[in-house]
Each structure stands twice: as structure tokens, then as C-alpha cells.
Structure 1
């Protein structure tokens, strides 16, 4: 597990959390839509075949079945199914390996097409899928954390948080852990900030400390690629 965790966080460790926060505040768009429309599955599968081949088509088809079978489930069941789907099917690899870049935010199709990605890509894919399944944006936040790995110093990491109520303890979806767990059971994670389309929260704050603004950024690029892929 230590080896897997170390590899999973290597790219974020290289650039450091302070740089991540700085890039986020200066350039990452928080123009997240409150929910994603039903994806154009036929278009997405056709693009998967064209760009990535048969294995990607199989993964996208399985993702489509996941969505169709999970729409009417309670939120907790949706969380578990989505978390398990991506954690079991997708391999962690650093951006430099997958994209030959130190920091690249992949769309869900790119993530499933390559069959690999880093912690940000896992979080984006889970967030998008849960939005498609009707989980409200007010319950979901991308969360940057400091993660303690063994006896080593903490390193930067990204997870997805589900908040049953705005001030409630979140459930954490993490590519490093197979199960969805309450934040109180993840003493290895120290929250730094979280965000969604409604704002930005610093640490464990219950009130937003900033209004989201739309600007050219990695996330805005991701949204555009999702649109081109038939996902929103």
C-alpha cells in the first residue's frame, strides 16, 4: 500500500501544495455547473473507439451501465458504486507518464480512454458521474488535503467529499482507499481547501470564504472537453 500511495501522490508532491493553492486561486476556474445533463453515450462510445480502441469502449460501456443501473439508488449506494467502479478499473499513474505534463486534468473520457490517471482525474470522474446520477452539487466538493503516508511527511492529494448537509461531516471518496469512509475515520488527511460551483472553503470551515469566478483554467478546459465528448 505504501508503494501505491507514494506513486499516487508523486506528481502533487513535486509541485507542492502551496503551488497548487496558488495556481488554483489565480487560474483554476470554479465555473462548475450545478449538475451535468444526461451524457450522449453513443457519441462518447464512438469517440472512445476512435481515439482509444476496444478496451476503452468496454470501459465506457460499463460506465454507461453503471449510470443506468444506479439512477434510482440512495445517495450512499451511488457513492459506493461510483467509487468502486473507478478505483477497480483505472490504474493510477502520474501525469508525466500519461500526458507527458506535470499537471493535466483529464476529462472522464480521457481518463477512461487511457485507463490511467492521477488523484485529480479520479476525483473529477467521480464528481461528474455523481452529478449525472443526480447528486446535488451542494453535497459535493473537490477537496485538496495533506495526506500522511506512513512515517513520512505529509504530501498534497485530492479527494472527493460528499456532505449530506452543508455543515455535516463529509464522506470521503479516495482512489487510495477502497471504501467510502467518514472524514473522522481518515485521520491521515488534513483538509486545506475545498470547492464547488458555489464557493471555496478553507480547511474545515463551514462557510464559503470566496465567490467562484470563471476564467481560463485547467477546469474550464476540462468542461470544454467534456462538452466535446458528449458528457455535458
Structure 2
């Protein structure tokens, strides 16, 4: 990974899904080793390398009906918090634009028009508006082409300034658009996973309406219900509650996104 001029190698908005998945595999391996060396199941100790079972780790509480475990504070969590800070900065810009539209930057004004269009809809139509609006506003360009880096996560207004981005950037923009349109934070999650058909890492936004989770994908104008998807392996969930590792609940099929 090559940082741009003036940017550190540990840029808070730069990391790859492969890094995330490799870190999770290391955590699981260390967890297995720790359990095998623990004399008693009651003598469990939470460490940096060991996932912490979430209090909401019941099937159905996460997209895809997955069981979730909180990822302990570490590089991924810190980078997600840094990206959240960037999103918060964008929300402050949007608030100033509402107060004084005459001084609103063009990219923020465009994003506000999208938010207003999303807010004007309800139910599933609101998700469709967000999905299609962001998909049409951004042209898919790989980060290696745009930034000279393998992977960079960008706050939405910066993405709208360039009108370019990859799958994570689409998901992040949809996340903020729905938040600004009034969605509850616990109804949204950015999902990192693996498209097993294409053999590629992929990121989507999952959004819940009336208890039903839907997938907003940059590759499709329509929505896919999480329960009907079949070829996407969800691995990591990023949302207002932090970073969670996902695993299929007993007796369920591994879901996917086409």
C-alpha cells in the first residue's frame, strides 16, 4: 500500500478488506489457542486478540441473521472511529448548508439534494432512492487508480467531490444519506464480506425496514433481501455500535449478495 505525498502509511481512512479478514483470522486462531490452554471455561479473560461476545449476539439481531461478536479495540476499531469522525465532520457541513445554502459547497449541496429525495420517500422506497441516488452519483473507480493505494475509505462529501469511488465508498455514502434522512443508526450497517461467485472482497450497506434487512449494492439498482441472498459471505459489520465479527447462526444458510 503506497500512501500519497504528505500522508502517513497509517492513514486513518486507508485499509483493505483483506487486512480486516486476516486480522479476524488471527483473532480466531489466538482464541482457539487460548481456549485450548484454559483450564476452565469460567476462567475466560478478554484480550486484544480475542473477540468479545456481544450482548446482542442473537440470531436475527444482525443482517443475515448472523451471530455477532464485538471486535476488541485495535487497529480496525480505531480506523472505523476515525472514519466516523470524518462522517461527523460531513454532517456538520450539511448542517451549515441548511442554515446558509448560499455558502454551501457544490458537493455538499448535491448530497443534500439526495438526502431530501430520500427523506421524501418511506419504507422500502426510501432505501431504493438512497441506493439508486448514490449509484448514479458515483462512477466506480478502483482506489489504486484514483489514489495510487490498494484501498482507501473516504467520507461521503469527499467522494461526492470527486464523483468517484469503489464499493466501500458507495456503502459509506448510503450510510450517511439514510442517517441524514432520519434512519435510526441501529437500522444500518456497512458489511464487509466475500462475493463467492466472483471470488472478490466486497462491501455493501445493509438497512432494516420493519424488521426486514435489505442489501444496498453499488452493482444493482434494486434491493436484495438479506434472507434471499445466496452468494455473499458476510464477515464484518461496521455501525454506530462499533465493529462486529459475523458468523452464521446454527441451522441457517450462509447468505450472500449477487
| CA distance 1:44–1:194, change in 2 (3 Å) | farther
Secondary structure of 1:156's counterpart equals strand
1:12–1:155 Cα contact (<8 Å) kept? no
Secondary structure of 2:161's counterpart equals helix
CA distance in 2, matches of 1:67, 1:45: 18
Give the count of matched residue pairs.
181
1:12–1:157 Cα contact (<8 Å) kept? no
Partner of 1:160: 205
Q: How does 1:207-226 map to 2 (within 5 A)?
A: none
Partner of 1:112: 160
2:118–2:127 Cα contact (<8 Å) kept? no
Residue 41 in 1 paired to residue 97 in 2? yes
CA distance in 2, matches of 1:194, 1:121: 15
Structure 1 position 136, deviation (Å): 0.3
CA distance in 2, matches of 1:67, 1:184: 27
Partner of 2:182: 134
2:141–2:166 Cα contact (<8 Å) kept? yes
Structure 1 position 30, deviation (Å): 4.0
Residue 193 in 1 paired to residue 250 in 2? no
CA distance in 2, matches of 1:145, 1:190: 5
Secondary structure of 1:193's counterpart equals strand
Structure 2 gaps, min length 5: 1-14, 27-73, 250-258
Structure 1 gaps, min length 5: 1-10, 49-56, 207-232
Structure 1 position 94, deviation (Å): 1.0
Which one has more relative contact order, counting CA pairs under 8 Å at least 6 apart? 1
1:30–1:196 Cα contact (<8 Å) kept? no
| CA distance 1:115–1:158, change in 2 (3 Å) | same
Partner of 1:181: 224
| Residue range with higher mean Cα deviation, 94-103 or 117-126 | 94-103
Structure 1 position 121, deviation (Å): 0.6
- RMSD, aligned α-carbons: 3.4
Partner of 1:225: none
CA distance in 2, matches of 1:194, 1:118: 18
Partner of 2:134: 86
CA distance in 2, matches of 1:163, 1:44: 31
CA distance in 1, matches of 2:133, 2:103: 21
Task: Compute the TM-score of the two structures, normalised by the length of structure 1.
Answer: 0.64
CA distance in 1, matches of 2:247, 2:213: 10
1:6-35: CA deviation from partner (whole Å, max 9, x where unpaired): xxxxx958x465247588646423474898
Partner of 1:170: 213
Structure 1 position 143, deviation (Å): 0.5
